[in-house]
């Protein structure tokens, strides 16, 4: 790595930190986080450059085959939604579908059966492939409206208190379920629905081995709690598309690491 590359790398890291700090400032208890990565990047051009140069983060991204900026577009399949990056107020996905051919652990119509169209097609293909391998998977809960997430979260806060609730449930506006791109799954028998005991089952193992091929990642992996801000959830799958899912799976990273944003826990500790 030459000197320029080192300088670019340092700058990129600084930009990531600044971008994260910017966001945190606006964030915390409410969900309407402005997406403020741009100003920090603009402020952080290399001081020694005689004239404007290409965005260093972008150059870094090209070198590493990873993205240069965090995707905050709510309609994008690769949008980052976490404790720092929330959805715009009032966001509702435009292409939600309820596919009757996708098995769920319950019967009848329900909001939580819905998901975005492309994801539904991918999930249908994945469940069918699992079935061919003798693994029967089913959805437990996919889309949640903002109002639903609010009711759910408030219930958890009443039961466990705010701090505890935040370790396993998302503050309204920061839940991936509100994107229509997340689904909690279990075996078709419905055992261990959204419970730790799902990890290590044959259904869970199959998902670990095959999900990326269909565009899904296990969003909150074991050992990455300090980065994602959530405890291990072997059942929570996030659709990001095949290309990104495969890169994330191959590298054993999280969506936060993919975008090189500050680990959630570091930001929380800095409050
Ligand atoms: Zn979930």
Res. 136: pLDDT tops 90 = yes
Ligand 1 centroid distance, CA of 267 (Å): 22
CA of 149 to the centre of ligand 1 (A): 11
Ligand 1 centre from 237 Cα, in Å? Answer: 7
- What pLDDT does residue 263 have? 75
CA of 126 to the centre of ligand 1 (A): 18
Closest CA to 174 of 94, 248, 87, 242: 87
* Mean pLDDT score, 9-20: 37
Max CA distance (Å), the chain: 65
- Cα of 236 to ligand 1 centre, how many Å? 4
Distance 44 CA to ligand 1 centre (A): 36
Asked if pLDDT for residue 8 goes beyond 90, the answer is: no
Give the Å distance between the CA of 230 and the centre of ligand 1.
Answer: 11
Q: At what angle do helices 56-64 and 3-26 cross, to 10 degrees?
A: 110
Q: What SS3 state is found at 239?
A: strand
239 CA from centroid of ligand 1 (Å): 12
Is the pLDDT score of 148 beyond 70?
Answer: yes
Distance 186 CA to ligand 1 centre (A): 11
Are residues 185 and 237 in contact, defined by beta-carbon separation less than 8 angstroms? Answer: yes
- Look at residue 271 and tell me whether its pLDDT is greater than 80: no
pLDDT of residue 68: 65
pLDDT at 52: 37
Considering the chain, what is the average pLDDT of its residues? 80
> Count of residues for the chain?
271
Report pLDDT for 45. Answer: 34
What is the model's pTM?
0.74
Please give the distance, rounded to the nearest whole angstrom, from the Cα atom of residue 45 to the centre of ligand 1. Answer: 38
What residues form DSSP beta bridges with 104?
Answer: 139
pLDDT digits (tens, 9 = 90+) for 68-113: 689 999 999 999 999 999 999 999 999 999 999 999 999 999 999 9
pLDDT tens string 161-210: 999 999 889 999 999 999 999 999 999 998 899 888 999 999 999 999 99
Q: What is the pLDDT of residue 34?
A: 34
63 Cα: distance to centroid of ligand 1 (angstroms) = 33
**Residue 15: band (very low, low, confident or very high) from pLDDT cuts 50, 70, 90:** very low
Ligand 1 centroid–CA 250 distance in Å is: 22
Cα radius of gyration rounded to whole Å, the chain = 19
Ligand 1 center–CA 15 separation, angstroms: 30
């Amino acid at each position: 790595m030459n000197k320029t590359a080192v300088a670019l790398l340092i700058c990129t890291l600084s930009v990531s930190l600044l971008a994260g700090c910017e966001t945190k400032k606006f964030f915390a208890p409410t969900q309407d986080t402005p997406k403020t990565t741009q100003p920090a990047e603009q402020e952080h051009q290399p001081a020694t450059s005689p004239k404007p140069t290409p965005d260093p983060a972008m150059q870094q991204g090209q070198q590493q085959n990873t993205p240069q900026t965090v995707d905050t577009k709510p309609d994008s399949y690769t949008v980052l939604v976490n404790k720092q990056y929330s959805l715009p107020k009032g966001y509702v996905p435009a292409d939600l579908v309820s596919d009757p051919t996708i098995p769920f652990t319950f019967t009848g119509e329900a909001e939580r059966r819905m998901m975005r169209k492309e994801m539904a097609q991918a999930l249908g293909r994945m469940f069918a492939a699992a079935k061919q391998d003798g693994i029967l998977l089913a959805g437990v809960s996919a889309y949640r409206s903002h109002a639903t997430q609010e009711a759910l979260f408030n219930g958890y806060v009443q039961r466990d208190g705010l701090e505890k609730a935040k370790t396993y449930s998302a503050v309204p506006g920061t839940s991936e379920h509100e994107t229509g791109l997340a689904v909690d799954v279990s075996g078709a028998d419905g055992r261990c629905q959204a419970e730790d005991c799902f990890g290590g089952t044959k259904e869970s193992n199959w998902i670990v081995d095959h999900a990326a091929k269909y565009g899904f990642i296990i969003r909150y992996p074991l050992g990455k709690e300090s980065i994602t801000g959530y405890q291990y959830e072997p059942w929570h799958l996030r659709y990001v598309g095949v290309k990104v899912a495969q890169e994330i799976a191959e590298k054993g990273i999280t969506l936060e690491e993919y975008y090189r944003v500050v680990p959630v826990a570091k930001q929380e500790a800095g409050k």
